[in-house]
Amino acid sequence: MNHSTSYQLLTFYQFVDITDPQDQVALHKQFCTDIGMMGRVYIGEEWISATVTGNVWQIQAYTLFLASNHYFSKIPDIELKATEVDNHQFDKMIVRYRSEIVALGKTVTAKQVSESDKQITVDELKRIIDEGDDERAILDMRNDYEWQLGHFKWAIPAGTVNFREVQELIKKYKEKLQDKKVVMYCTGWIRCEKLSVLLKDEWVDNFFALDGGVVKYTNVHNDGNREGNLYTFDGRVSCPIWDENTHTTIAHCIYTWEPSDHCANCRYSPCNARIIAEPKAYRKHYGFCSTECRDKGMNDLLIKNIDRDPVDFKSLRGLIIQDPTQKQAIRDKVQKIIKKKTLHAEFPHKKSQKEKVLYEW
């Protein structure tokens, strides 16, 4: 009898004061590797953050391992943070030290977070969206390219491409949203909890963080109040969060402008833009987001490999390093391949589609 293996993806974080983060890194790395999990775990003086995949027994073993550690025995709602996936979403296990849970140039303590934390429940956000509330504003604290793929109804994007930019916007948030009670949210609450400390330092008291973020809301309510897919930093990249009765698509393919939930990266490495692209159209344009990236790729060969490529671009670059006299012949070969692959492709965009701010504060 054949038995299919059930896999889960577990993602969580916790602000906690850790005096021996390097020792904890070593312990986690040994345990996670021994039981065969895949994913990423980061540990620093202020925190732990993890996104890992494994079969149900591996995930259960890992949660028991956490429960036995005095630092991580009280991770809130960890039983709600595992979701079913088809297979491993990572190809290796990484456990590393990082000084900050999210890069803002400032570390915080667990006490600061608890003292600054002003929460709003998922039920309260549901009421605000369902009934409408002119006295509230919903602020999506994720980066704008994440907002573009999917967001809560009526949500305003943070106006960032990288979260560290948010420090420069706090005063603008304070000025433009001073007459509102602001519900801010992110994927799993990490950014909002750290941002709460900064807001308190700036004497901002009208911002409330959504308890548990998007992940907790969608685990509790299947109501369609969040439109589009969820951007994830794992193998899924673009993840549907509702069933077929409540899901809506709000993003559009950069090549065809047809509605799409698919997300990919430009194959020209110096660009690497996160783009919304239907798989068929992405293949037709050979993974380049623009004519600029295609032409630069044909010239300097800085092209990322994907499945079913007729050549290994990384190996070709290695051959040129070993023998520079082959450069022109290899370049001619690559140009011939790419011109053939994109023969019938019309690029709507002439310039790189590198992420940019969608909402100016």
Domains of the chain listed by start with CATH number: 7-97 (3.30.70.100), 110-239 (3.40.250.10), 263-341 (no CATH)
Cα 292 from Cα 351, distance rounded (Å): 5
Per-residue pLDDT tens for 69-89? Answer: 999 998 877 776 778 888 888
Cβ pair 89, 236 in contact under 8 A: yes
pLDDT tier, 29 (very low <50, low <70, confident <90, very high otherwise): very high
pLDDT tier, 4 (very low <50, low <70, confident <90, very high otherwise): low
Whether the predicted model's global pTM rises above the 0.85 cut: no
Torsion angle, alpha carbons of 308, 311, 315, 320, to 10? -160
Q: Does the structure show a pLDDT above 80 at 104? A: no
Residue 39, classified by CB atoms within 10 Å of its CB into exposed (0-12), middle (13-18) or buried (19+), is buried
Q: Does the structure show a pLDDT above 70 at 342? A: yes
Residue 170, classified by CB atoms within 10 Å of its CB into exposed (0-12), middle (13-18) or buried (19+), is middle
Q: Does the structure show a pLDDT above 70 at 304? A: yes
Which pLDDT does position 3 carry in this prediction?
A: 53
Which pLDDT does position 167 carry in this prediction?
A: 85
Residues labelled as active-site residues: 186
- For 173, list phi and psi in degrees, rounded to 5: -60, -45
Which pLDDT does position 236 carry in this prediction?
A: 81
Residue 27, classified by CB atoms within 10 Å of its CB into exposed (0-12), middle (13-18) or buried (19+), is middle
